[in-house]
Amino acid sequence: MAQRLHGKVAAITGAGMGLGKAVALLFATEGARVVVGEINEEKGQETVDAIQAQGGKAALVQIDVRLRQDAERLTRDAVEAFGRLDVLVNNVGVQINKDVVDTSEDEWDFVVDTNLKSMFLCSKYAVAQMRQQGGGNIICISSLSGLVGNGLQASYNASKHGVIGLVRSMAVDHAADNIRVNAVCPGSMNTPLTETIPEEKLAPYREANLLKRFAAPSEIAPAALFLASDEASFVTGSVLVADGGYTTL
């Protein structure tokens, strides 16, 4: 079978662990040259090493995606390393579990800047590069929390709803540039973060979807691969939900 991303260059933020790492490894397996955008240099290098160990090509860009100059550098370094940028996966996300009364202004800014502003900034510079090339592809990782309301997640829900709005607006604005923009909404996943939480606290969330379990990041990564590939050539402005049936309940 032909590699679905053969010849493409993909930049993935937050690619040092969890879903970002799973996407980076899968994209590399499918032929992409991967730019690992990661604030944690050690974790980012582990992903680069894993890609290179399986025969792929990858480069690390240590960045804080909340900063304009770092977001701009992600695209610039991708072009310097591999000559172009075909796919951007905006993946970074954080969560604070508080209602609006208990959420401080600094906490609100931290969540919204990380989850939403970062996607605006990284997309801003990626779109400019993709226009010059004649097209490209942007995938933003939202959440099932971008589709429903959750208790004690005021800042997180607001940011993830905002991601979907940003995706739809960019899809409209840049269709004429041959740039497709889509969102993936994962449900709860087994990640390094969930491994630190006692099972008695996780159990109700595992029961909250139809499949009665959390997803592995490797189960969500193929959704991003589909949207990045030419198989999704007629898909833009869409929201691909992979939540184990949570939003059907």
Q: Write the pLDDT tens digit of every residue in 145-204.
A: 999 999 999 999 999 999 999 999 999 999 999 999 999 999 999 987 788 778 888 899
**Percentage of residues in the chain having pLDDT higher than 90:** 92
Q: How confident is the model at residue 1 (pLDDT cuts 50, 70, 90)?
A: low
Q: Any idea which residue has 């939480």 for tokens?
A: 197
Is residue 3 domain-resident? no
pTM of the complete model: 0.97
Is residue 28 domain-resident? yes
Is residue 92 domain-resident? yes
Is residue 245 domain-resident? no
| Distant-in-sequence contacts of 54-59, Cβ < 8 A, 24+ apart | 54/25, 54/28, 54/29, 56/28, 56/29, 56/32, 57/28, 57/33, 57/82, 58/24, 58/28, 58/33, 58/34, 59/33, 59/34, 59/35
pLDDT, one tens digit per residue, over 22-44 is 999 999 999 999 999 999 999 99
Is residue 2 domain-resident? no
Instruction: Please provide the DSSP assignment of 82-116 as one string.
Output: HS---EEEE---------TTT--HHHHHHHHIIII
CA–CA dist 91, 186 (Å, integer) = 11
Enter the DSSP assignment of 47. H
Beta strands per DSSP E along 23-166: 33-38, 58-62, 87-90, 136-141
Amino acid identity, position 99: D
The CATH number of residue 212's host domain is: 3.40.50.720
Query: How many other CB atoms are there within 10 angstroms of residue 213's CB atom?
Result: 13
Range of the domain at 193: 9-236
pLDDT, one tens digit per residue, over 5-27 is 999 999 999 999 999 999 999 99
Residue 156 annotated as catalytic: yes
| Catalytic residue from among 125, 156, 205, 246 | 156
Q: How many domains are contained in the chain? A: 1
pLDDT at res. 194? 80
CA–CA dist 169, 40 (Å, integer) = 31
Is residue 247 domain-resident? no
Mean pLDDT of the chain: 96
Is residue 219 domain-resident? yes
Q: Which residue(s) pair with 220 in the sheet?
A: none
CA–CA dist 214, 18 (Å, integer) = 13
